[in-house]
Amino acid sequence: MAEFDVVIVGGGLVGGSLASALHDLPLRVALIESAPVRASNQPSPDERVIALSLGSRRIFGGLGVWPAIAPVAEPILSVHVSDRGHCGFSRLDRREEGVEAFGYVTPARAMDLALQESLEQAPNIQTLRPARLLDHRVGADGVELDIQVGGERRHVTTRLLVAADGGDSSVRERLGLQVDEHDYGQDAVITTVLADRPHPGRAFERFTDTGPLAMLPMPGGRYSVVWTCRPTETTGLLSLTEADFVARLQARFGWRLGRLSAPSRRQAHPLKLKLVRETIHERLVLIGNAAHTLHPVAGQGFNLGLRDVAALAEALGEAARHGRDAGASSTLADYARWRGRDQADTARLTDTLARLFVVPWRPVRIARNLGLLGLDLLPAARHRLARRFMGLDGSLPRLARGLPLETRHV
């Protein structure tokens, strides 16, 4: 029977980042991932492009994987926010904040490969894939796990079980944890397009009557498109010819980027808010989308999950330095206190934006446009909002400041 200090269920970007963050600590770590290993030259089913905040870029720097990601990452130097059909708009510029960039638009595949290579060089981390958790039992001194690895059933124990298995977390469902959920009645249609008059480094967030439309800069004049629409529109948008789809997008976004063309494969995802009421339980912690699934407005979801990773890794590092149990209630309570406010504030902010900008009532439209104009005229308010979106607000873990974890034993 194998014994571990930490077992992470879910080897996606959040779970893989946590495993990578623990590679220098005196902890035995297992990472359980359902998908088989994919070679770097194999096509990936994950075509997502993610807007990393500056704080997330620093976390990847602290993990030592940023040099492998940087060549394909496009910096976001400015952000233009507007309300379609109305006068309100606001502009954010990285020079006002004195930073290199607000963030970086990065292919998920590049991050996954960089993390995979990092884990292959970590002797204290065992990756089990394709594998899935069948059952677990919590005891006073640890958690017993039944795992299916390929065609073999294994029994392992761990001091701490981490659920990083996404918005439909099987660990969360198995435990029957209470989740507050809201269906936005929206889908996100995702693709990329080519612009013939690109603005290098400029991202656009355009609020429309069906939800936000984000255009994120990529290398080569391409833009990642996240188009929020009603479910009744989704099937039509997915089935349109390329020319008709681009014409519809052009009409919705406008001509700030010139003529749009050459869309990539389109995908759609339903949008829901899911917030687990308690992110920690006996010898268990939920992170990333398993703990909080957000609306994609302002691109905060994955970045919030990475801040979970940075804080949990630091809490586990402190426990290891002082010879404490990784799954001790005091360790998890420290983590929960640290993360609670950021998780709640970020969820509240994205939820408010998602709801506010689809309200058709005229007084609300006037108020939000005045708000955008006011934001453009008030540097202090712009600064505070920018710090929040960059993931630099509040008490930051070492990794979010670009620093490695403390590993010296006390």
First to last CA, the chain: 30
Kindly state the average pLDDT of the residues 186-209: 93
Q: Are residues 122 and 213 in the same domain?
A: no
Are the CB atoms for 173 and 254 separated by under 8 Å?
no
Are the CB atoms for 326 and 159 separated by under 8 Å?
yes
For the stretch 39-63, pLDDT in tens is 655 555 567 899 999 999 999 999 9
In a domain, 13, yes or no: yes
Are the CB atoms for 62 and 398 separated by under 8 Å?
yes
Q: Are residues 233 and 373 in the same domain?
A: no
Kindly state the average pLDDT of the residues 88-115: 91
The yes-or-no verdict on residue 374 having pLDDT over 50 is no
SS3 assignment, position 188: strand
Position 370 confidence tier, pLDDT thresholds 50, 70, 90: very low
The yes-or-no verdict on residue 206 having pLDDT over 70 is yes
In whole angstroms, what separates CA 107 from the centre of its chain? 12
**pLDDT top residue among 1 and 322:** 322
The yes-or-no verdict on residue 83 having pLDDT over 90 is no
The yes-or-no verdict on residue 366 having pLDDT over 50 is no
Query: Distance (Å, rounded) from C-alpha 199 to C-alpha 78?
Result: 10
Query: Distance (Å, rounded) from C-alpha 62 to C-alpha 407?
Result: 13
Nearest to 168 by CA among 293, 343, 11, 271: 293
SS3 assignment, position 249: helix
Among the candidates 245, 271, 297, a domain finishes at 271
Number of domains in the chain: 2
Position 361 confidence tier, pLDDT thresholds 50, 70, 90: very low
Run of H or E including 125: strand 125-128
Mean residue pLDDT across the chain: 90
Among the candidates 256, 271, 286, a domain finishes at 271
Are the CB atoms for 54 and 391 separated by under 8 Å?
yes
In a domain, 334, yes or no: yes
Q: Are residues 129 and 155 in the same domain?
A: yes
Are the CB atoms for 292 and 339 separated by under 8 Å?
no
Kindly state the average pLDDT of the residues 364-390: 64
Q: Are residues 34 and 164 in the same domain?
A: yes
Q: Are residues 223 and 318 in the same domain?
A: no
The yes-or-no verdict on residue 353 having pLDDT over 50 is yes
Predicted pLDDT at 394:
85
pTM here? 0.93
Structure tokens at 143: 């958690």
Identity of the amino acid at 75: P
Q: Are residues 194 and 332 in the same domain?
A: no
Among the candidates 247, 271, 295, a domain finishes at 271
- CA distance to 10, 166, 276, per residue, from 181 (Å): 22, 15, 9
For the stretch 239-295, pLDDT in tens is 999 999 999 999 999 999 999 999 999 999 999 999 999 999 999 999 999 999 999
Are the CB atoms for 320 and 327 separated by under 8 Å?
no
In a domain, 43, yes or no: yes
For the stretch 106-119, pLDDT in tens is 999 999 999 999 99
Kindly state the average pLDDT of the residues 333-347: 95
Strand segments (E) across 139-219: 143-149, 152-163, 179-195, 202-208, 211-217
Q: Are residues 320 and 395 in the same domain?
A: yes
The yes-or-no verdict on residue 371 having pLDDT over 70 is no
Render the burial of 313-350: b for 16+ CB within 10 Å, e for the rest: bbbbbbbbbeeebbbeeebbebbbebbeebbeebbebb
**CATH number of the domain where residue 307 is located:** 3.50.50.60
Residue ranges making up the domain that contains 218: 184-271
Are the CB atoms for 139 and 107 separated by under 8 Å?
no
Structure tokens at 263: 């869309």
Predicted pLDDT at 357:
63
The yes-or-no verdict on residue 75 having pLDDT over 50 is yes
> What is the pairing mode between strands 131-138 and 267-276?
unpaired
Q: Are residues 310 and 379 in the same domain?
A: yes
Predicted pLDDT at 404:
87
In a domain, 410, yes or no: no
Are the CB atoms for 47 and 382 separated by under 8 Å?
no
Q: Which residues lie below 8 Å from residue 33, measured CB to CB, with a gap of 6+?
A: 10, 11, 12, 15, 127, 128, 129, 130, 131
Position 380 confidence tier, pLDDT thresholds 50, 70, 90: confident
Q: Are residues 161 and 33 in the same domain?
A: yes
Q: Are residues 224 and 302 in the same domain?
A: no
